Amino acid sequence: MIFRTPISVPDRPQMEADVVIVGGGPAGMACALRLSQLIDEHNGRNPEIPLSKENIYVLEKAREVGQHCLSGALLDPRSMRELLPGFEKEAPIDAEVNKEAVYFLTAKSKFKFPITPPPMRDHGNYVISINKFVKWLGEKVEQAGITVFTGFAGSELLVENERVTGIRTDDKGLDKQNQPKSNFEPGYELKAKVTILAEGTRGSLTKQLIGRFQLDRDRNPQTYGVGVKELWELPAGRIAAGEVIYTMGWPLTNHEYGGAWIYGSKDNIVSLGFVTGLDYKDPRIDPHHVLQTFKTHPFVRDLLSGGKMIRYGAKSIPYGGWFSIPPLAGDGWMIVGDSAGFLNSQRLKGIHLAIKSGMLAAETAYEALVDGDFSVNQLSSFQNRVEKSWIREELWRVRNFHQGFENGLLEGMVHTALQQVTLGRGLHERYTSHAGHTRLEQIGNLPTGGYDREHILGPAKGDGQLTFDKLTDIYHSGTKHEEDQPIHLVIHDTDICNNRCTVEYGNPCQHFCPAKVYEMVEAADVANGKQIQVNFANCVHCKTCDIMDPYQIITWVPPEGGGGPNYDGM
């Protein structure tokens, strides 16, 4: 067993807070900024009973704001215009979208859709680097007088009498054996009146919260995709800034869900990536290999020839939609952004929803501060706010979208067409779904022949020019972790990995992890001759292993704060 348990510290330092926002991505920063605006307005109206911002904190696990933020990224500006009217004048925007195209790829050809389907029309949206954008938002938050603690991860939810009372931050300075080193600093008990979870997809505290209060009861299981991205520098004139291309089809087959994006940015930079739905059946599929193979298509090869790959990263995204979103608030807590599942998978966009959900949570927190009431009765008005907002309007129209693809691409297209004419309903009011890991087939049950997948199975070798192996790509993610610390990928039973999984699924962690964290290495004393090795320092925090492990025995917990990728410019 590879374990990580909190060590016992008799006198943990404590801090009191009014509001703690865990996660400094778009949702968390928008929440902090909106809360600050509301407090400023309140103090202008009520100078005799001012509210303080002193005890409002944003906690971010990265060394610097934005370093763990990864996305395509296209920004639908709707929520930003509500948060900061005229934001375009000062925000880091790379280009306005002025041209889109959607292609269906086969191995050697491409077919352009005669008209761009409405959900993929991006005129007026902005090509951005989410890293730079969030960094800028973080500066606004700090200028507004709210403290952002970087390099601090939320390790544990504090719960008293079924009420969330804050979080414990990560212990710093533990060695591999979970023992204090000379630089040991215990994590804080941050006692908060309201804890807002904005951790991104598959947040570790959100997972604790959902498990403890069974928040997934009566919901569709959340489903996910993993986006693997590279940033390229191209010869001038290859793609215009603001040009957007989506592809469907090859290298995936009819049995897998996913597609690619190519966004032209300024200075001849292109963002390209491939999202593979984490609900495929063949455990040998490797999403990093999918992207490498995609680049060998003549259309993409021509686009990239003479260019240079400069950055790499990966991130999971929630695909489940409206019916997978858990209750959004309870006693002392709210959930926002990707942690809650606010993503429109048909449009492949979630940043605008993350920002809007953060703003609505801020309005709820503000009212709670004024009323001095942090109970479920007060905070559940966040749920009402979301349901009355354009978030619900947008997500309700695509409520059955991803579920329609459970039986493959072709059937999915038919469902999509039906849903389009029935305002999102399709054949049933609520399409059900299955957690992605339950759809994996055991190796022995895979059909022999018939599925042409050789080109996306197992690790990509890479030619070092157009295609890369995982280690080369990881180098370009800037990932760093302190090596002498407990492993942050907790495997609850490694016997299952070494014996059962080897036989049943062929250790799919070796394939679905885009950072080569999991390896089966020679071991004489293990029945199958191999045992699992966890190269945790490579981890880019995408959470795919936590999601896709067939036995659900891997738990991603935050490493010592500050560790992880450095997505500068991504």
By beta-carbon proximity to ligand SF4, the closer residue of 231 and 537 is 537
- The CB-of-513 to ligand SF4 minimum distance in angstroms stands at 3
In the complex, least distance from residue 239 CB atom to ligand SF4, rounded to whole angstroms: 29
- Other Cβ atoms less than 10 A from the Cβ of 449: the count is 6
Residue choice 196, 269, 545, 557 for contact with ligand SF4 (CB under 6 A):
545
Q: Which of 231, 359, 542, 570 binds ligand SF4 (CB under 6 A)?
A: 542
CB of 102 to ligand SF4, least distance (A): 29
DSSP alpha helices (H): ranges in 250-319? 287-294, 298-304
CB of 515 to ligand SF4, least distance (A): 4
Burial-class residue 108 by CB neighbours within 10 Å (0-12, 13-18, 19+): exposed
Cβ distance to ligand SF4 smaller for residue 165 or 222: 222
CB of residue 281 to ligand SF4, shortest distance in Å: 19
Cβ contact 192:56 at 8 Å:
no
Q: Do residues 487 and 558 lie in contact, with contact meaning Cβ atoms separated by under 8 Å?
A: no
Beta carbon nearer to ligand SF4, 18 or 473: 473
Only segment of 9-17, 281-289, 406-414, 538-546 that touches ligand SF4 (CB under 6 A): 538-546
Is 291 a residue that touches ligand SF4 (CB under 6 A)? no
Give min distance, CB of 476 to ligand SF4, in A. 14
Is residue 270 part of the contact set for ligand SF4 (CB under 6 A)? no
Best CA proximity match to 471, nearest among 556, 555, 535: 535
Closer to ligand SF4 by CB, 180 or 462: give it: 462
The number of residues that bind ligand SF4 (CB under 6 A) is: 13
Please give the structure tokens belonging to residue 364: 């709820």
Shortest gap between Cβ of 276 and ligand SF4 (angstroms)?
A: 12
**Distance between CA atoms of 361 and 26, rounded to whole angstroms?**
13
Q: Rounded CA gap, 567 and 271, in Å?
A: 13
DSSP 407-448: T-HHHHHHHHHHHHHTTT-TTSSS-----GGGGPPPGGGSPS
Exactly one of 486, 543, 550, 562 binds ligand SF4 (CB under 6 A); which one?
543
Regarding 540 and contact with ligand SF4 (CB under 6 A), the answer is yes
Closest contact distance (angstroms) between CB of 238 and ligand SF4 is 30
Q: Is residue 556 close enough to count as binding ligand SF4 by CB under 6 A?
A: yes
How far apart, in whole angstroms, are the C-alpha atoms of residue 173 and residue 185? Answer: 6
Selected binder of ligand SF4 within 541, 555, 559, 567 (CB under 6 A): 541
Burial of 314 (0-12, 13-18, 19+ CB in 10 A): buried
* Residue partners of 506: CB distance under 8 A and separation at least 6: 283, 284, 443
Beta bridge partners of 127: 74, 95
483, 308 Cβ separation under 8 angstroms: no
Distance CA 190, CA 84 (A): 30
Region from 294-302, 303-311, 519-527, 535-543 binding ligand SF4, contact rule CB under 6 A: 535-543
At 358, which helix (H) or strand (E)? helix 351-371
Handedness of CA 506, 509, 511, 517 (dihedral sign): negative
Helix (H) or strand (E) holding 104: strand 99-105
- Calpha distance 152→64 (Å, rounded): 10
Q: Binding string to ligand SF4 for residues 495 to 524, with x set by CB under 6 A, is what?
A: ------------------xxx-x-------
Closest CA to 354 of 134, 165, 90, 104: 134
Options 155, 169, 419, 544; binder of ligand SF4; rule CB under 6 A: 544
For ligand SF4, the closer CB: 456 or 513? 513
Give how far the C-alpha of residue 344 lies from the chain's centroid of Cα atoms, to the nearest Å. 13
Q: Which is nearer to ligand SF4, 239 or 540 (CB)?
A: 540
Least Cβ distance, residue 507 to ligand SF4 (angstroms): 13
User: Is 489 near ligand SF4 (CB under 6 A)?
Assistant: yes
Q: At closest approach, how far in Å is the CB of 455 from ligand SF4?
A: 21
Nearest to 369 by CA among 62, 34, 110: 34
Look-up: residue for tokens 């469907």? 248
Per-residue string for binding with ligand SF4, 147-186, x by CB under 6 A?
Answer: ----------------------------------------
What count of Cα atoms within 13 Å lies in the side-chain half-sphere of residue 220? 23
Binding mask 408-427 for ligand SF4 (x = CB under 6 A): --------------------
Our CB check for ligand SF4 shows the closer of 53 and 543 to be: 543
Looking at the Cβ atoms of 132 and 543, the one nearer to ligand SF4 is 543
Q: How far is the CB of 526 from ligand SF4 (least distance, A)?
A: 21
Check residue 4 for interaction with ligand SF4 (CB under 6 A).
no
Q: Which stretch binds ligand SF4 (CB under 6 A): 190-198, 242-250, 321-329, 542-550?
A: 542-550
The CB-of-300 to ligand SF4 minimum distance in angstroms stands at: 24
Classify strands 147-150 and 95-96 as parallel, antiparallel or unpaired: unpaired
Residues 440-479, mask of contacts with ligand SF4 (x by CB under 6 A)? ----------------------------------------
- Nearest-5° Cα angle at 202, 200 to 207: 120
What's the CA gap between 130 and 133, in Å, rounded?
5
Interface with ligand SF4 (CB under 6 A): 489, 513-515, 517, 539-545, 556
